[in-house]
Amino acid sequence: MKKKAVLGLSGGVDSSLAAALLTEAGFAVTGVYLRAAQARDESGAAQAAADAIGIPLVIEDVTEALEREVCSYFAAEYGRGRTPSPCIRCNPRVKFARLTAAADRLGAETVATGHYARMLRLPGGELAIGTGKGRSDQSYMLCRLDRALYPRLAFPLGGYEKSEIRAMAAARGIPAAARPDSMEICFIPDGDRIAFLERRLAGAEGLAGNFVDPSGRTIAPHGGLYRYTVGQRKGLGVALGAPVYVSDVDPDSGNVTLSPAGGEFSREVSVSDCLWHLPAEDRFEADVRVRHSAGFTRGTVTRTGTGAELWFPDGIRAAAPGQEAVFYRGGAIVGCGTIRRRGERR
């Protein structure tokens, strides 16, 4: 009897190929499309993919959960001068929660997605989420999944580069093989994050303020805290004769600090609400990532109760409060924490 698997099927090339690969591996796969009123409805593409692969499709509505767990949080964090990671929050609270519930209902032991990540069995026997192949790696987005899910997880694309996927999908007659990748946040389908936040934060207090230099001298008024994030250079609306970067967003004063190149780096970063996936010493060396699109930076992690202090001898770029810092050793996620403060600049 075939093992049963539930797979999040969006209709895009990644999830469609993941479904095909699981089917070829001998699983009885059911696709699950998560529909939300906030997002573009791609259920037709998901159904076309399911039909091409020869699997059933179930449609689940996650409108309420997405609003409660992600959209409201996203806007509120920007209103506080922080930079949230919506996918990291959505994965455990909405996406994998609903996929797991569907798997339980259908009697499926495996829960799969098209993420570029791998499940690793470490020498000590522990399961861990590991990096995907090369630049396609999406493990960062999975850092807050519950370890209890690990034995059920499957990521069929973990051994492939993104550049290989379209040819593999085309060879299997998958309709999405030539479909462009979706780059926007799912609940902001037009890609206009500022307009979304302006609607959500209309009438909110404490968003106005000034651009200041590193000494605190006022440069000019800015357009609202929610427009800016640490490390940002474009879209500032000020011309100072040389490139400047956002180095701090202070919700208490309303100030956004602009610094010359290098000011967006820091050696000290504090994180809170740590989640540990693997055993770790009170102090250890790790490869740290602070954004999905960022590379790894070598640093020292010192555990402090429910948080941690991070030290980077060469500095780390654009560690924005509200984002996640994810700690890796040997390509496996050890833990993560939410960035709260940046300290000494490089």
What are the catalytic residues? 90, 186
Residues across the chain: 346
Q: Alpha helices, DSSP H only, in 107-178?
A: 162-171
Compute the chain's Rg from CA coordinates: 21
Q: Between the CA of residue 154 and those of 22, 98, 150, 288, 311, what are the distances in Å?
A: 9, 16, 9, 24, 33
For residues 342 and 319, is the Cβ–Cβ distance under 8 A?
yes
Token pair belonging to 25: 């591996």
Q: Compute CA 126 distance to the chain's CA centroid, rounded to the nearest angstrom.
A: 24
Contacts of 161 (CB under 8 A, 6+ apart): 133, 134, 135, 136
In a 10 Å sphere around its CB, with 0-12 CB exposed, 13-18 middle and 19+ buried, how is residue 105 labelled? Answer: exposed
Report the SS3 class of residue 24: helix
Q: Phi first, then psi: what are they for 53, rounded to 5°?
A: -85, -25
* Closest of 248, 259, 213 to residue 343, by C-alpha: 248
How big is the CA angle at 98 (ends 157 and 36), to the nearest 5 degrees? 95
Contacts of 56 (CB under 8 A, 6+ apart): 30, 31, 50
* Closest of 271, 275, 272 to residue 143, by C-alpha: 275
Q: How many CB atoms lie within 10 A of CB 2?
A: 10
